[in-house]
Amino acid sequence: MTVNVAIAGASGRMGRMLIEATLRDPACALAAALDLPDSPFLGRDAGELVGIGQSVAISSDVAAAFDVADCLIDFTRPEGTLRHLEAARVAGKAMVIGTTGFDAAGKEAIARAAETIPVVFAPNMAVGVNAVFRLLDVAARILASGYDIEIIEAHHRHKIDAPSGTALRMGEVVANAVGRDLEACAVYGREGVTGERPAQQIGFATVRGGDIVGDHTVLFAGLGERVEITHKASSRMPYALGALRAAAFLKGREAGLYDMQDVLGLK
């Protein structure tokens, strides 16, 4: 069963990776490629961006994209993603959202749209990361007492939100597992005379630099030992492959808000 996919942000780093993954996947067809109205790539062959011949021209017409696509995959920015989401709702088509950095209102808009269309919304589409989420749940329950929890993440210099959506999701997983409210116990960076670390605290540290694709570590630090669970991405391809699995999952699916745990059958 072929899935006809539209890709948002076609000329960006993630957009190009999604185009390449789609063109190489026999179960998917690239139906449309979208970019900003002022993009110099409009009208160009999407496949040329990744060195693969393809007859889909890059466009800014979102409505036309939904005429030919079953699902739009969007890893752009919150404001653009929400515009695309409204177009998906009007068209009655599915959407895979890998964009991060949404505020509470943005997340609420996604939840409302998912009442009428099927949506996969996840902070990280990589299959390996979602396996790590499950491992973190198990580890946190075992190490709930006597271990301090710290989350360290690193990304490229161009990333616009911090901590990353993946780091925040890791924090939510471990906080839920140990019965804490992340909003109440999280600390995002430390400076000056901070005093002794509260036992219930969950700390976040952020690194930005160079071309780091994405590194995440959750550290459980106890007396005389440390347990570290780490995921490192050396390419954006795992995110693209996971997004295509999500698009295939949504084919024929009823309206609802899903995540990668649903896609991978981990719930």
Question: Do residues 133 and 170 lie in contact, with contact meaning Cβ atoms separated by under 8 Å?
Answer: yes
Q: Which residues pair with 3 in a beta bridge?
A: 28
Nearest CA among 123, 148, 168, 128 for reference residue 228:
148
First-to-last C-alpha distance (Å) of the chain: 24
- How far apart, in whole angstroms, are the C-alpha atoms of residue 186 and residue 182? 5
Query: Phi, psi at residue 256, to the nearest 5°?
Result: 160, 165
Long-range pairs for 76-85 at CB < 8 Å and ≥24 separation?
76/8, 76/9, 76/12, 76/15, 77/101, 77/160, 78/102, 78/103, 78/106, 80/8, 80/9, 80/36, 81/8, 82/106, 82/109, 82/110, 84/8, 84/34, 85/109, 85/110, 85/113, 85/119
Task: Check if 159 is active-site.
Answer: yes
Task: Check if 155 is active-site.
Answer: yes
84, 93, 107, 155: the catalytic one is: 155
159, 216, 232, 251: the catalytic one is: 159
Instruction: Give me the active site residues, please.
Output: 155, 159
